[in-house]
Amino acid sequence: MELVTISFKLNSRPVAVVTSPLANLRDVLREQLQMMAVKAGCGQGGCGACTVLLNGEPIVSCLTPVVNAQGQEITTLEGIGTPMRLHPLQQAFYDNFAAQCGYCSAGMITVAKALLEHNPHPTRAQIVDALSGNVCRCTGYVPIIEAIQQAADSR
Amino acid sequence: MAIEQFVAPASLDGVLDVLNQYGPDALILAGGTMVMPLVNEALTSPRVVVSLQGAGLDRVRVNGQIEIGTTTRLTRVAAMSELPLLAGAARQIGSWAIRNMATLGGNLFAPPPSGDAAVALLALDAQLVAQRVGGERVLALDQLYTGLLQTNLKPNELVTSIVVPKLRGKTSWLKFGRREANAPTVVAVAARVVTDPEGVITEARVALGGANDFPMRARHAEAALLGRGLNAESIRDAANAAKVEAKPFSDALASEWYRKKIMGICVRRALEGIK
């Protein structure tokens, strides 16, 4: 396969990468663009650790051929908040001890951000439903759900 | 062996040309949820991967019947209030992120017991438009599958749209999985009945997932409903018939025995849930 140049907006800034068109977006984000919040989990679309936003909507980057990002807008956790300026969702995760090992947190927060854009005041059931593609093996989910609830309530 | 070539034609005609040239050596890429697991692990080496991204097939036309372009995302299908049965089935496929990627046309070719959309579409008498260079044909979804991952499509044909007739009667959808959301199907049931003013069933559809090597209609169950009211007796007979005609399989989710055991229960619950 011939390499191609793919251009897209990453966290509001234009980027271009030379890559195989069928490389997955997760690997390109991590290895070529140093977006290390994008975690490599199952590689099958089942765990949600690699979730990013495509034009504001959650997708799993491990199953997204990078060519599908051409001309689109991609948001990773790095574009949601920074250590110096936490997004309210990140602050709520911190306050509620919603991260233990932290591997799922980026995906969880990314999905939660999209959820709150669509639905600023979700019910607990709607939060659970939105998170159903994101696996956490530490917390039992309760602190995560409560953190998202808190972030929504504080808006 | 590596994938030799990737092409993303800017038109449907371009895609059809590639399929015409490469036939079975072409792998069609739409949402990526089925193809990318294979590509990532180098488990497939077609001569060419052809993307549907530029083919213009992400569209819905409502004109009495509903024509859904093959690359319409499941998120959009899940919001189609005209077709509560199909929307309900789509809503339960994968996670939110997966539904934002996966396409309705792609789901028709998912390995069983995945492929809930076809179960719903069978109960809705859906038809498929298959296009090829220089022609097209319409085939009933009911005529698509011939075996495990086998279909009646020719290698140069592409399903470009799924056509659902205007909804007649009342419907029900039931998916039995190991948890509520983002769970693979153990057994799925789609049902539709049309009744006359006296409440006698004049048309019945019962479709099953996880019941065979491909989504199937339970014709004996349908026959058990015809000419009768939808009541405890007719539902029991239909459920028993479906249980007999289902030929389920064992996999990591459930055994053949278990699927058989719950098939009748799922059909009964689906029929009781018709509204």
Residue with tokens 């051929």: A65
> Is there a contact between B37 and A129 if contact means CB atoms under 8 Å apart?
no
Contact between A111 and B29 using a beta-carbon 8 Å cutoff: no
CB pairs under 8 A between A and B: 87
The 3-state DSSP class for residue B231 equals coil
Query: Residue B6: its chain A contacts at CB < 8 A?
Result: 1-2, 20-22, 67
What value does the mean pLDDT take over residues A65-78?
A: 97
Between chains, do A63 and B95 touch, taking CB under 8 Å as contact? no
How far apart, in Å, are the Cα atoms of B123 and each of A77, B142, B162? 42, 9, 13
Among B6, B97, B98, whose Cβ lies nearest the Cβ of A1? B6
Pick the closest to residue A70 from A19, A1, A32 (CA basis): A19
Beta bridge partners of B140: B127
For chain A, first and last CA: distance in Å?
Answer: 48
Most A CBs within 10 A among B34, B36, B43, hence the mutation to make, goes to: B36
Does A63 sit within 8 Å of B101, measured CB to CB?
A: yes
Evaluate whether B1 touches A1 at the Cβ level (below 8 Å): no
Identify the DSSP state of A24: B
Cβ atoms of B267 and B243 within 8 Å: the answer is yes
Distance from CA of B241 to the nearest CA of A (A): 35
Q: Do A65 and B36 touch (CB under 8 A)?
A: yes
Identify the band that residue A1 occupies on the pLDDT scale cut at 50, 70 and 90. confident
Q: Which residue of B has its CA nearest to A50?
A: B97
> How far apart are the C-alpha atoms of A32 and A18, rounded to whole Å?
9
What distance in Å separates the CA atoms of residue A89 and residue A108, rounded to the nearest whole number?
Answer: 10
Task: Indicate the residue of A24, A57, A133 with minimum beta-carbon distance to B95.
Answer: A133
pLDDT in tens, A112-151: 999 999 999 999 999 999 999 999 999 999 999 999 999 9
Helix (H, G, I), strand (E, B) or coil at B164: strand
Task: Name the strands in the sheet holding A13-19, side by side, starting at the edge strand that comes first in the sequence.
Answer: A13-19, A4-10, A73-75, A51-54, A57-60
How far is C-alpha B104 from the chain's CA centre?
8
For every one of its 275 residues, what pLDDT tens digit does chain B have, with 9 covering 90 and above?
689 999 999 999 999 999 999 999 999 999 999 999 999 999 999 999 999 999 999 999 999 999 999 999 999 999 999 999 999 999 999 999 999 999 999 999 999 999 999 999 999 999 999 999 999 999 999 999 999 999 999 999 999 999 999 999 999 999 999 988 889 999 999 999 999 999 999 999 999 999 999 999 999 999 999 999 999 999 999 999 999 999 999 999 999 999 999 999 999 999 999 98
Contact B180, A128 (CB under 8 A): no
- State the DSSP string of A32-66: IT--TTS----SSSSS-TTEEEETTEEEEGGGSBG
Chain A nearest-CA distance from B47, in A, is 10
Choose among A21, A65, A133: nearest Cβ to B97: A133
Indicate yes or no: CB of A111 within 8 angstroms of CB of B97. yes
Q: Is B252 helix (H, G, I), strand (E, B) or coil?
A: coil
Looking at this predicted complex, what is its ipTM?
0.97
pLDDT at residue A15, as a whole number: 98
β partners of residue B170: B193
Which residue reads 């189609």 in tokens?
B80
To the question of pTM greater than 0.90 for the whole model, the response is: yes
Distance from A88 to chain B by nearest Cα, in Å? 22
Count Cβ neighbours within 10 Å for each residue of B125-155 and write b for 16 or more, e otherwise.
bbbbbbbbeeeeeebebbebbeeeeebebee
Q: Which pLDDT score, from 0 to 100, does residue B2 have?
A: 86
